[in-house]
Amino acid sequence: MPPPPTAPRPIAATIAVVLRAGQVLLVRRANPPDAGRWGFPGGKIEPGETVSQSAVRELAEETGISAEPRHVFTAIDAFDHDSSGRLRQHFILIAVLCRWIAGEPVAGDDALEARWIDLDRLDTADLALSLDVAKVAAQAASLMSEVRS
């Protein structure tokens, strides 16, 4: 009898949290985990790439936005399960607060849509948000105000 399948090893990935004029940049994901849900632009860290480099690269690929990485501030576990509940993938999403430099969001790469969303409407907006999006956005807004002080 073959040995039982082992759970996949966690995959390191980044998310770029970009704030501008009371809004946060979100994308509607095209791929699992959370396909169809709104979350931060991001993706897997490439070999030899720093966390900050990954965040700004993924941001540009998914939205066309240019930004400056400012601060790594939290990490989130994202799990992708199959229909029977078995773990397919486990991502560790490392959040990087980024300062917007230029560009308007245009969906690209792994994004179905990309747009600015009012921070104060995240909890009430009629959007299917990925887990912890509102919480991470609030953390970023608090951190951004501390950085400016």
Q: Is residue 149 part of a domain?
A: no
Residues of the domain holding 115: 11-140
pLDDT at 148: 62
Predicted TM-score (pTM) of this structure: 0.91
First-last CA distance in the chain: 63
Q: Is residue 44 part of a domain?
A: yes
Q: Is residue 62 part of a domain?
A: yes
Mean pLDDT of the chain: 91
Compute the distance between CA of residue 122 and CA of residue 83 in angstroms, rounded to an integer.
29
pLDDT at residue 50 greater than cutoff 90: yes
pLDDT at residue 143 greater than cutoff 90: yes
Compute the distance between CA of residue 56 and CA of residue 27 in angstroms, rounded to an integer.
14
Q: How many domains does the chain have?
A: 1
Q: Is residue 2 part of a domain?
A: no
pLDDT, tens only, 113-130: 999 999 999 987 789 999
pLDDT at 35: 87
Mean pLDDT of 14-25: 97
Question: What percentage of the chain has pLDDT greater than the value 90?
Answer: 74
pLDDT at 81: 87
Q: What CATH number has the domain bearing residue 130? A: 3.90.79.10
Q: Is residue 67 part of a domain?
A: yes
Q: Is residue 127 part of a domain?
A: yes
pLDDT, tens only, 67-90: 999 999 999 999 888 899 999 999
| Options 46, 49, 61, 113, the catalytic residue | 113
The residue ranking higher by pLDDT, 109 or 78, is 78
Give catalytic status of residue 113 as yes or no: yes
Q: Is residue 58 part of a domain?
A: yes
Torsion of the alpha carbons at 40, 42, 44 and 47, rounded to the nearest 10? -140
- Cα-based distances in Å from 125 to 37, 51, 129: 13, 30, 9
Q: Is residue 30 part of a domain?
A: yes
Torsion of the alpha carbons at 27, 31, 36 and 41, rounded to the nearest 10? -10
Compute the distance between CA of residue 45 and CA of residue 145 in angstroms, rounded to an integer.
28
